[in-house]
Amino acid sequence: MKVNSLMVTGEREWNQDLIKDIFNGRDANLILSIPLSNSDADSWFWNNEKLGLYTVKSAYGILTEHNHQPNSGDNSSTWKKLWNLKLPPKIKTFMWRALSGSPAKACWVYAGYVFNFQPCTNFFDWFRMAVGVYKIEDQQWIGSICWSIWRNRNAIVWNKKGEEFVQIVESARHIFNQWRYAQDKSFDISLGFMTQADGNERWTKPNVGELKINVDAACFTDSNKYSFAFLVRDSQGNVVEAQTKCKQGQVDPEIAEAMGIREALSWVKEKKVGNVVVESDCLVAIQAIRCSNITLSYFGRMVDDCKAMLSQLKQYNVVLNFVKRSANKVAHELVRHSSSIADRNWSGGDVHQLFSSVLYDDLKV
């Protein structure tokens, strides 16, 4: 069996029904979580970096993680006694994680912070100590890591799955940077492939003769799905068309965002319309598309598809801009709504009927 036999004939889409019939639930989900690129070329990539390129830092993280594993041979009797305790599984799991090396401590080491926890009797004392030692920038970063550790703890308790310390810290870094750039009204546009047109806080009508497309994506962990959506509006603020797509599987949020941008660009190519502004609130995706670096990962493949599409659309004058979440509210509401419906092309009237209040809010001066 070849991989293309698992795809819909003539399309870059997985045949979900066929895959679910052939494979067990776990394997089917893993296959459906692989985003399909328009490129035919296969390549190796480093799975521990977002862009697929090897870095010494990521390799160090893997080695550090490996070295933090408990030595079961030297302490086998202790572990045996622990697992034989008549306790709920979550308590025994917690004790094993605490005894084998705190993942929180590993997070601080990976992030470059060294704390003396001995004099601290509670979280308030510990944070007061950190505030007295580190600058405000470090305090913000420490707070982000704390939240990421707490979120990982909740994932373990409620969903029975968590992340290793490297992923915990990198997740904190990603969320903190996204929020900082989205909130900062004075970010330096000369950095990070930003332009004067980026960073709008409110949606604005496109110029006469132009169209504006807003794109957003969302991941729904509970239902094991992800969605992306876009809507097109004219210079009067009227909705021309909208599309929503919901797929089975789990991908990183930035992959879903890049897939949404690719879908919007495909619409422009199909309709052969010119003078189009495409807006997204995913800074990571916008920066990656504007960057000339080689990208080999799944995310990189989606980015390359977007780059190729933009190159093909040069004659149509298509511009891609970053906006803040507050300027992307309708697309956000649309993609959240898409988790409960099948793939759909929306008419302007349908969108106005369901999201009239959000659309009206965008038109306020």
Same domain, yes or no: 62 and 24? no
Q: Rounded to two decimals, what is the model's pTM? A: 0.61
Asked if residue 340 belongs to a domain, the reply is yes
The CA distance from 261 to 255, in Å, is 10
Q: Supply the pLDDT for residue 190.
A: 44
Q: What is the pLDDT along the chain (365 residues), one digit of tens a residue?
A: 778 788 888 777 788 888 888 888 888 888 888 888 777 667 777 877 777 777 777 776 676 666 544 444 455 566 566 666 666 666 666 555 555 555 677 777 777 777 665 666 666 777 777 777 878 777 777 888 888 888 888 888 788 777 887 888 888 887 777 766 665 544 444 445 678 888 899 999 999 999 999 999 998 887 888 999 999 999 999 999 999 999 888 888 999 999 999 999 999 999 999 999 999 999 889 988 988 776 778 888 899 999 999 999 999 999 999 999 999 999 998 898 887 766 888 888 888 787 888 888 888 76
Asked if residue 172 belongs to a domain, the reply is yes
Same domain, yes or no: 340 and 280? yes
Asked if residue 51 belongs to a domain, the reply is no
Same domain, yes or no: 246 and 358? yes
Query: Is residue 178 packed enough to be buried (19+ CB in 10 Å), middle (13-18) or exposed (0-12)?
Result: middle
Same domain, yes or no: 227 and 283? yes
Asked if residue 357 belongs to a domain, the reply is yes
Same domain, yes or no: 14 and 60? no
Same domain, yes or no: 162 and 237? no
Asked if residue 239 belongs to a domain, the reply is yes
Q: Supply the pLDDT for residue 192.
A: 59
Asked if residue 114 belongs to a domain, the reply is yes
Q: How many helices (H) and strands (E) does the chain have?
A: 15, 6
Contact 316, 278 (CB under 8 A): no
Same domain, yes or no: 154 and 216? no
Q: Which candidate, 215, 145, 134, 136, places its Cα nearest to that of 174?
A: 145
Same domain, yes or no: 25 and 69? no
Contact residues for 73 (Cβ-Cβ < 8 A; gap 6+)? none
Q: Supply the pLDDT for residue 194.
A: 76
Asked if residue 43 belongs to a domain, the reply is no
Phi (first) and psi of residue 16, to 5 degrees: -60, -45
Question: In the beta sheet, which residues pair with residue 345?
Answer: 243
The CA distance from 240 to 289, in Å, is 26
Same domain, yes or no: 150 and 223? no
Which tokens belong to 237? 């603020």
CATH label of the domain that carries residue 216: 3.30.420.10
Phi (first) and psi of residue 86, to 5 degrees: -85, 80
Same domain, yes or no: 172 and 248? no
Domain count, the chain: 3
Asked if residue 195 belongs to a domain, the reply is no
Write 337-344 long-range contacts (CB < 8 A, 24+). Answer: 337/244, 338/218, 338/227, 338/229, 338/244, 338/245, 338/246, 339/218, 339/220, 339/223, 339/225, 339/227, 339/246, 341/244, 341/246, 342/246, 343/243, 343/244, 343/245, 343/246, 344/243, 344/244
Same domain, yes or no: 158 and 216? no
Q: Supply the pLDDT for residue 150.
A: 82
Same domain, yes or no: 308 and 172? no
Q: Please give the span between the terminal C-alpha atoms of the chain, in angstroms, as a whole number.
A: 58
- Domain span at residue 12 reads 3-32
Residue 7 is classified by DSSP as: B
The CA distance from 126 to 225, in Å, is 39
Q: Supply the pLDDT for residue 33.
A: 83
